[in-house]
Structure 1
């Protein structure tokens, strides 16, 4: 039996939480909250049930008709609610759309409504509104369009059949019903397609963030391979040579060991420089990359240009700040707007990156989960005698997350001892 401390248990729990968070984000980005969606679909359910129920209550003495009709309406209401309960932009709606039970239930409801419309009363045509809405949510767009058009025409054919012709038909009532059936069905098709598009956008946003992280990993792996490959080969060969010369030529062995020591020290300095960002990015390139990433992620942004040449160490740390700040915005994926600006004050320059967060716990998560990125940035900033702040900030009554780095314009770089 697995416990909560088991890694697999924790992995499943994390995946479940991530799935819930993804659904919340997708629904929020659709602009239709879950509460609003359920109020909307229940409004149309009441319309579907009102007229058949009024018809049943008009003849209370027909007990068998009342009982059968009431059970049918109850079955319709439960089925409709089960199908339409998930938000159309959520994973639950997507799962229902692929369920054979949902499709069979949709067909059964359509047949049931048609039967009662033919055998009992034209008021039973109103539940076609709900059937059309369910078809728009469950079916793929092309099939949904065909079914909605068929459901739009079906009340006309049933009405003509029950009246044995076109005489005596209340055309205004019938046309209004047909337009509602068509309009609600097409409305649900649009909402469903919007949900699919938002899910795809959210997936693309997450993919971009993963690609950015993977790109950094590959770059670091490539740099370390280029840096260490030949050096380690030299150390290995010289070590083997020194081992063979211990007894034969101690003086030469000592020289080889000294060279190994020197190569090791040099390599250590180069590795430290590489890991600390010796091969530095450029601020202008990082600003262009930030624009491209934010545009691809669908995040509104305002990025200020810096039209002055800065010392190379200062330019590099500002570039690292842009990279880390924008990567966090993309990775967390709940921001709608991002602002990046520079502040110049005498002998100091500051960069600020703001992003709006949708929930207070998201800000707390980004603030507490500083990770290696912000820790490494803090080290770079400190080496230049600067300061860094990262945490929540209230602007215009709304919570934001701010990353602020302040640096002297003439920094004194703290050199590391390679010893």
Structure 2
């Protein structure tokens, strides 16, 4: 329902998915939800219309006055709803603000309220509330501030003009109305300005994220170029030299080939270390991502946080375990509950991911034998001297799937997380 109410501008403009997500985030972070805004909008419309309507009921007059006043109120209600329907922090308000109808409509409504207040009844001063709110939403901040001040003073000037002097004026009623006109207008200016600031903030964040990605790509490209350029040149030169020594000096040729093999192994090792340094996950990030994935999938979860610093190799291995385990829960089971917890026993640290599963297909066990994610995880764990268990488990007569990894706090092969060939 929210999409239908808030996003009709999407079909009229070429809006990217990124801008749509930014618009939704801005409305959510503004603190004013769509239902609250609808109630707020209709409440002030009711206030604006109620006093002129009460005046018409109390003083029944000619049909001409009734028809003209009713038409004017209907025009005011339609114009107010058209301008105020979009959320004040959304892109829809900006679209209305750029419309050629907005400013002429505000001028027409201001003149209408002024004329009826002078010629008909002071009750028509109350629609100035709606005009002030519309000005605060549609107009730029400085222009809106000037208009709100003018609209705040108009009830005072009109009341003095209609009474002829200051005697007999109900000052409490007039001051309350002026404060409401000023407050509502400034309130709308503030909410609209907050929406603009939040939108600029989200745009800046996305731009910084894109710049960070580009920076990482350039750095990776630079490092690989610096690393491979020299080594590949050495391999090329030694290969040419070895080819010329095949018949003339076989012993020297064998030595050159051995050096080529050594350079190749060293290059492969350094390339793997360079690439792995860019893609090593962190346990804290994976735990946060696991909660987001399980929540998005509608799975009830209990995820324990680990608040101690671990060696980089252990942290990465546990992060890979969390990522693979939660991915299997999402993709290969119809789980309703998922438990993720850590265990510490005599110099060992472990992580256990347990989920209940419906159905009989043992997708996790099948994947182990197919060389996919769980097999790769087993290799990572075994390199560090750890142990991994993955398979079905029967708890209280209900089928579950359990992934359990244990790692020594002092890994046996700290440096060999990327094996050589």
TM normalised by structure 1 equals 0.66
Equivalents in 2 of 1:31, 1:388: separation in Å? 46
SS at match of 2:412: coil
- The answer to which of 220-229 and 260-269 deviates more is 260-269
Which residue is equivalent to 1:160? Answer: 160
Alpha carbons of 1:218 and 1:405: their partners in 2 closer, same or farther (altered >3 Å)? farther
Contact 1:386–1:408 at 8 Å: present in 2 too?
A: no
SS at match of 1:277: helix
Which residue is equivalent to 1:66? Answer: 66
Which residue is equivalent to 2:268? Answer: 268
Mapping of 1:244-283 within 5 angstroms?
Answer: 256=256, 259-277=259-277
Alpha carbons of 1:174 and 1:280: their partners in 2 closer, same or farther (altered >3 Å)? closer
Equivalents in 1 of 2:178, 2:248: separation in Å? 103
Contact 2:313–2:417 at 8 Å: present in 1 too?
A: no
Which residue is equivalent to 1:418? Answer: 420
Which residue is equivalent to 1:126? Answer: 126
Alpha carbons of 1:158 and 1:342: their partners in 2 closer, same or farther (altered >3 Å)? farther
Shift of 1:165: 2.2
Alpha carbons of 1:171 and 1:406: their partners in 2 closer, same or farther (altered >3 Å)? farther
Mapping of 1:107-146 within 5 angstroms?
Answer: 107-146=107-146
Equivalents in 2 of 1:263, 1:49: separation in Å? 85
- Please list the CA deviations of residues 134-169 of structure 1 after superposition, one character each: whole Å capped at 9, or x if unmatched: 111122322222211111101111111122222332
Shift of 1:306: 3.7
Shift of 1:412: 3.5
SS at match of 2:166: coil
Equivalents in 2 of 1:345, 1:42: separation in Å? 62
Contact 2:349–2:406 at 8 Å: present in 1 too?
A: yes
Equivalents in 2 of 1:388, 1:20: separation in Å? 44
Equivalents in 1 of 2:15, 2:161: separation in Å? 55
Which residue is equivalent to 2:408? Answer: 408
Shift of 1:348: 2.8
Mapping of 1:175-186 within 5 angstroms?
Answer: 175-186=175-186
**2:336 maps to 1:314:** no
Mapping of 1:295-314 within 5 angstroms?
Answer: 306=308, 313-314=313-314
Which residue is equivalent to 1:368? Answer: none
SS at match of 1:39: helix
Structure 2 gaps, min length 5:
1-12, 289-304, 323-340, 353-374, 391-403
Equivalents in 1 of 2:279, 2:17: separation in Å? 38
**2:96 maps to 1:96:** yes
Equivalents in 2 of 1:388, 1:161: separation in Å? 88
Which residue is equivalent to 1:33? Answer: 33
SS at match of 1:411: coil
Equivalents in 1 of 2:256, 2:73: separation in Å? 93
Shift of 1:128: 0.3
Structure 1 gaps, min length 5:
1-12, 291-302, 323-340, 353-374, 390-403
Contact 2:132–2:148 at 8 Å: present in 1 too?
A: yes
Which residue is equivalent to 1:43? Answer: 43
Shift of 1:109: 1.4
Mapping of 1:2-401 within 5 angstroms?
Answer: 16-241=16-241, 256=256, 259-277=259-277, 306=308, 313-314=313-314, 344-349=344-349, 383-384=383-384, 385=386
Instruction: Pick the structure with greater CA Rg.
Output: 2
Shift of 1:281: 10
Alpha carbons of 1:250 and 1:136: their partners in 2 closer, same or farther (altered >3 Å)? same
SS at match of 1:64: helix
Alpha carbons of 1:207 and 1:68: their partners in 2 closer, same or farther (altered >3 Å)? same
Alpha carbons of 1:62 and 1:279: their partners in 2 closer, same or farther (altered >3 Å)? closer
- Please list the CA deviations of residues 215-245 of structure 1 after superposition, one character each: whole Å capped at 9, or x if unmatched: 4434432332221121122233344555677
- Please list the CA deviations of residues 238-288 of structure 1 after superposition, one character each: whole Å capped at 9, or x if unmatched: 4455567778878766665554444333322221232223998999xx99x
Shift of 1:211: 4.4
- Please list the CA deviations of residues 169-200 of structure 1 after superposition, one character each: whole Å capped at 9, or x if unmatched: 22222111111111111211222222223223
- Please list the CA deviations of residues 77-114 of structure 1 after superposition, one character each: whole Å capped at 9, or x if unmatched: 11111111111222212332333432222222112211
Equivalents in 2 of 1:119, 1:56: separation in Å? 14
Alpha carbons of 1:142 and 1:318: their partners in 2 closer, same or farther (altered >3 Å)? farther
Contact 1:51–1:124 at 8 Å: present in 2 too?
A: yes
Alpha carbons of 1:304 and 1:199: their partners in 2 closer, same or farther (altered >3 Å)? farther
Number of aligned residue pairs: 341
